[in-house]
């Protein structure tokens, strides 16, 4: 029976050891990657470059990092932090989307056909507005104020709502049958 040789004792790694510095640098790069990934709209390659990885390896490194459970968890944590900070809830996003989808141009007008003042608009109509322009024109009879309302485009809002509810798969083929009529995506986009 052969005697085993005693193994030399490993020195404990000190905070100043090269291994500890490499490990700390890797942790710092992961954090930089996660922050950049959430901040830039989830572009992994750009986030990897921002974290200091080379242009040549950024895509592969981003893919590798995004497979790590700790990175996934940190990205989720940062995302939730942003959503909370900006008061973005699923309910508030759906409320905005619903306001755009259900916008009715008649709600901008008074019964006599004149445009309503901004403060007279109901909340849903105000949410659907992208911008408002005011022009004041001086004339013989005094100052005339005109208002120009610009609303958000309904087509992207309809598309997002349909995708959210599973009515429009990624390939664009509509899966809805109403009153025995199949509605195609082109008709929805024009409507």
> What confidence score (pLDDT) does residue 9 get?
64
Give dist(CA 28, CA 5) in Å, integer: 39
162: in domain? yes
0.85 cut: is pTM over it?
A: no
Domain of residue 70, CATH code: 1.10.10.1400
- Note whether 22 and 75 are same-domain residues: yes
For residue 87, give both structure tokens.
């008061």
- Note whether 32 and 76 are same-domain residues: yes
> What confidence score (pLDDT) does residue 14 get?
57
How many helices and strands in the chain, by DSSP H and E? 8, 4
41: in domain? yes
The C-alpha angle 131, 137, 139, rounded to 5 degrees, equals: 160
- The rounded average pLDDT for each run of 10 residues, N- to C-terminus, in the chain (191 residues) is 64 57 76 92 93 94 95 92 81 86 90 88 90 76 75 85 71 52 41 38
**What is the total count of domains within the chain?**
3
**Between the CA atoms of 16, 20, 25 and 27, what dihedral angle is there, to the nearest 10 degrees?**
-130
- Note whether 77 and 131 are same-domain residues: no
For residue 102, give both structure tokens.
């259900």
Domain that holds residue 67: 18-85
Give dist(CA 144, CA 132) in Å, integer: 16
Query: Which of 70, 86, 90, 144 is closest to 114 using CA atoms?
Result: 144
CB-CB contact of 97 with 161 (8 Å): yes
- Note whether 34 and 72 are same-domain residues: yes
- Note whether 78 and 97 are same-domain residues: no
4: in domain? no
The C-alpha angle 25, 13, 61, rounded to 5 degrees, equals: 25
> What confidence score (pLDDT) does residue 115 get?
83
Query: Which of 142, 183, 179, 147 is closest to 162 using CA atoms?
Result: 183
**Between the CA atoms of 76, 79, 85 and 90, what dihedral angle is there, to the nearest 10 degrees?**
-90
- Note whether 163 and 177 are same-domain residues: yes
- Note whether 115 and 147 are same-domain residues: yes
Stated as kind and residue range, the H or E segment containing 39 is: helix 18-39
């Amino acid at each position: 029976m052969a005697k085993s040789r005693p193994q030399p004792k490993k020195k404990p790694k000190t905070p100043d050891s090269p291994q500890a510095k490499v490990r700390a640098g890797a942790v710092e790069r992961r954090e930089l990657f996660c922050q950049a990934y959430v901040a830039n709209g989830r572009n992994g390659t750009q986030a990897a470059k921002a974290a200091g990885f080379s242009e040549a390896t950024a895509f592969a490194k981003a893919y590798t990092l995004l497979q790590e459970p700790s990175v996934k968890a940190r990205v989720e944590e940062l995302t939730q932090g942003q959503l909370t900070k900006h008061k973005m809830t699923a309910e508030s996003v759906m409320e905005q989307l619903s306001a755009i989808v259900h916008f009715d141009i008649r709600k901008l007008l008074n019964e006599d056909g004149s445009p309503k003042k901004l403060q007279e608009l109901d909340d849903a109509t105000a949410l659907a507005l992208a911008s408002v322009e005011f022009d004041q024109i001086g004339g013989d009879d005094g100052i005339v104020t005109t208002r120009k309302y610009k609303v958000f485009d309904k087509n992207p809002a309809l598309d997002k709502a349909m995708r959210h509810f599973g009515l429009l798969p990624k390939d664009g083929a509509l899966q809805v049958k109403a009153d025995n009529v199949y509605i195609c995506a082109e008709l929805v986009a024009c409507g």
